[in-house]
Chains A and B, each alone.
Chain A
Amino acid sequence: MSAVVTGVGMAVEGLADPDDLLHPLTGDDSGFDPKVALTGRGMRHKDRASRLALVAAADALTDAGLLTDGTYAGCGDRTAVVVSTNFGNLDSVCSFADTIAGEGVVGLSPLGLPHTSSNSVAGWVAIEHHLRGPNLTVCNGASSGLDALFWAQLMIEAGRADATVVVGVEPGTGAVARLLDGARSLDGAAAVVVESVPHRRARGAAPRAVIADFRRGTPTSATARPVGLRMDPDGGVDLAGRFGECSGALGVLQCVAGVGYLDAGGAGDVLATAGRDPATSMLLTLPGRAS
């Protein structure tokens, strides 16, 4: 395996550590506060999904040691962005559609037009850190987040990038609530830095986890170690049960939780599953000799 996870980040209200995804909150006030963190200069003129994604991406890049004083320390030309979101900029699109219905196209602001493009979240992440490698948006239903991690790994292995920032984000906007008929849903983002092994070694960053297996249908363990953490709607930790519908953010959130688990010395491998018929699964392991 020539790709390895080197950083994780989050933007979920009340949560501070990746461990918080797997445990009741500790009751202190050190967690993410969207009222504070999603405001300010850099956040202006961006939809909620983009704001959440920017916070999570910066958190993951910091964790990976790739942000120095807010500036990206890697090679921007060799860094890719993959964003998984199913509802992403639905609010911008709906508001555009409402304007057209009410006032006709003359009512539209040309400045807002880019926000209606489904890749706007990935665009903002790239612009923020000058990441000029491949830029991909995955909108693939329940498996979207895991798919995004798969594509990130594939891009590394194909030599298209040295590092990839993967973001899974779903905004808790009115448009999403209407679409989901009021069902509880996540308002947040998770991010993971996937990096090539030579690049990681060259800069001396610690390897945190390896995506050892990815497949449709339940995977068999690819290592001798037993599965110590399952994240699955039918068994083990059910993130959607706790945070509501996580949609395109689910797989990336699972990855962040899994890395937190392995970091802390959790036993065995981590198996994350999203969706049903077919289920999509990812096996996360501690880095081995080749990582």
Chain B
Amino acid sequence: MTGRVLVTGVGAVSCLGSGRAALWHGLLAGGGQPRDVIDPHAHMESALMYLTPEVPAAPVALAHVPLSAGPRFAVAAAREAVDDAGLAGPARAGLPVVLGVEMGNARMHEDRRTGTHRTASSDPDRWTPMTVTAAAVAAALGSRETHTSVGNACAASAYALTVAADMIRAGEADVVLTGGAEGATRVGMGAFNRLGAADPVRCRPFDRGRRGTVFGDGAAMLVLESADHARARGAHAYAEVAGAAWSCDARHPTAPDPSATHVIRAMREALDAAGLGPADVGAVVPHGTGTALNDVVESHAMRAVFGAHCDRLPLINLKAMIGHTAGVAGAFGCATAALALRAGVVPASPRIDEPDPECAVLVPQDGTRPIERPAVMVNSYAFGGNNACVVLTGGAVDR
């Protein structure tokens, strides 16, 4: 596979507000705060989440399927991304949609169980699949092309973005919309509580006192486009998807392989695919969830890949600012990397009470820092040891 893949549009809905501008300015201002999900049925120790200010009013349904918050966030962010990329009607009809979606429309099913859903199915006997988000986006944009839903749990949208980039490199498409979207779900929060992985305070990656992650909802979308196609229509680019790689621990259901062997391999293969070395990386958006083991293993892996460069390599502590957005996390990481590359700076992390000495990484808390190297790396991992690594470079980098 050959050819360069650019990011020519970005859209986002997060706890920091609606739109990519709200995301970027919110990150520069230190990120958001979690609050309790209002759900009288959510019997669990902690129901904290980084929640979007409001759920879009539309679309209410796709075919017979009533849509909950997740797919609605998706449609809002997708519209912003394709507008940003300057894709109008005919271009939208030919736009494949490849999203990463873990829980999708699960909230509609949960609301049905408690009798609280507002929209009735127009065909109540017909199966209502859970992951209809990509289909809802395709319908909303008028796409007549393929729409695919990738389900790699908390790494789903990083896998989806890699698939989208591979489609462009393979010549299957010139432009692909990729990203992810998730709403709050009782089952997701409850399971993390049961797994002892829900921090009741806030999301505190790389903090010695961290007690797990805190979920966030929202959507992040990126328009990927071949460099030739973008040049021909004069589209601007935020960044280039220079390389991406996958690996699988193939070991434990929930715990990362403590040796980090395959996480390290994914990082190195992504750099190789980008034709870059560790010294070319100027910032990393880590997976950094705030769970005890992830942050230690990931820090070790970064140390192994970057060596002493780690001491000067700033991390963008994204989950401390918008929570762990589950299936969207990888797309938020890539969208943030693209915005950071365009701005040339790394937003500062919220305060870390006590840095974990087992996490020998640089998490700047004292104002923005310039990105001094051409590339930003994004890590995204999921249960079952599903690892993905994406390397983005500044739009103007000549390789």
Contact = CB atoms under 8 A, between A and B. Distances in A.
Are A and B bound to each other?
yes
A227 B332 CA distance: 33
A288 B253 contact: no
Looking at chain B's contact residues, the main secondary structure is: loop
Which of A223, A263, A268, A286 gathers the greatest number of chain B CB atoms within 10 Å?
Answer: A286
B258 A289 contact: yes
27 contacts: A206-B251, A223-B292, A224-B210, A224-B211, A225-B196, A225-B292, A226-B196, A228-B196, A263-B252, A264-B253, A265-B252, A265-B253, A265-B254, A267-B194, A267-B195, A267-B196, A267-B197, A267-B254, A268-B196, A286-B252, A286-B255, A286-B293, A288-B258, A288-B293, A289-B258, A289-B259, A291-B258
A150 B65 CA distance: 58
A271 B149 CA distance: 41
A219 interface: no
Contacts of B147: none
A224 B253 contact: no
B107 interface: no
Contacts of A228: 196
Contacts of B259: 289
Given A267-B194, A288-B293, 20 more contacts: A206-B251, A207-B258, A223-B292, A224-B210, A224-B211, A224-B292, A225-B196, A225-B292, A226-B196, A265-B252, A265-B255, A268-B196, A286-B255, A286-B293, A288-B258, A288-B296, A289-B297, A289-B300, A289-B358, A291-B258
Interface string A75-96: 0000000000000000000000
Interface string B250-269: 01111100110000000000
Contacts of A206: 251
Contacts of A223: 292
Interface of B: 194-197, 210-211, 251-255, 258-259, 292-293, 296-297, 300, 358
B45 to A, nearest CB: 10
A265 B255 CA distance: 7
A287 B253 contact: no
Contacts, number: 38
A223 B297 CA distance: 15
A287 to B, nearest CB: 6
Interface in A244-284: 263-265, 267-268
Contacts of B300: 289
Looking at chain A's contact residues, the main secondary structure is: loop
Contacts of B252: 263, 265, 286
A267 B255 CA distance: 10
Contacts of A286: 252, 255, 258, 293
Interface string A188-218: 0000000000000000001100000000000
Contacts of B258: 207, 286-289, 291
Nearest to A227: B196
Contacts of B197: 267
Nearest to B300: A289
Nearest to A287: B258
A226 B195 CA distance: 9
Interface in A134-169: none
A64 to B, nearest CB: 16
Contacts of B210: 224
A27 B26 CA distance: 56
A188 to B, nearest CB: 28
Contacts of A207: 258
Contacts of A291: 258
A130 B210 CA distance: 48
B294 to A, nearest CB: 12
Contacts of A267: 194-197, 254
Contacts of A226: 196
A207 B358 CA distance: 20
Nearest to B292: A224
B68 to A, nearest CB: 27
Nearest to B194: A267
A82 to B, nearest CB: 26
Contacts of A225: 196, 292
A223 to B, nearest CB: 7
A222 to B, nearest CB: 12
Nearest to A201: B259
Nearest to A288: B258
Nearest to A228: B196
Contacts of A224: 210-211, 292
Contacts of A264: 253
Nearest to A264: B253
B256 to A, nearest CB: 10
A207 to B, nearest CB: 8
B253 A289 contact: no
Contacts of B293: 286, 288
A44 to B, nearest CB: 41
Which 6 pairs across A and B sit closest by C-beta, in order of nearness? Answer: A265-B253, A267-B195, A265-B254, A268-B196, A224-B292, A267-B196
A253 B87 CA distance: 64
A226 to B, nearest CB: 5
A268 B259 CA distance: 20
B233 to A, nearest CB: 48
A268 B197 CA distance: 9
A8 to B, nearest CB: 15
A107 to B, nearest CB: 57
Contacts of B194: 267
Contacts of B292: 223-225
A212 to B, nearest CB: 13
Nearest to B299: A289
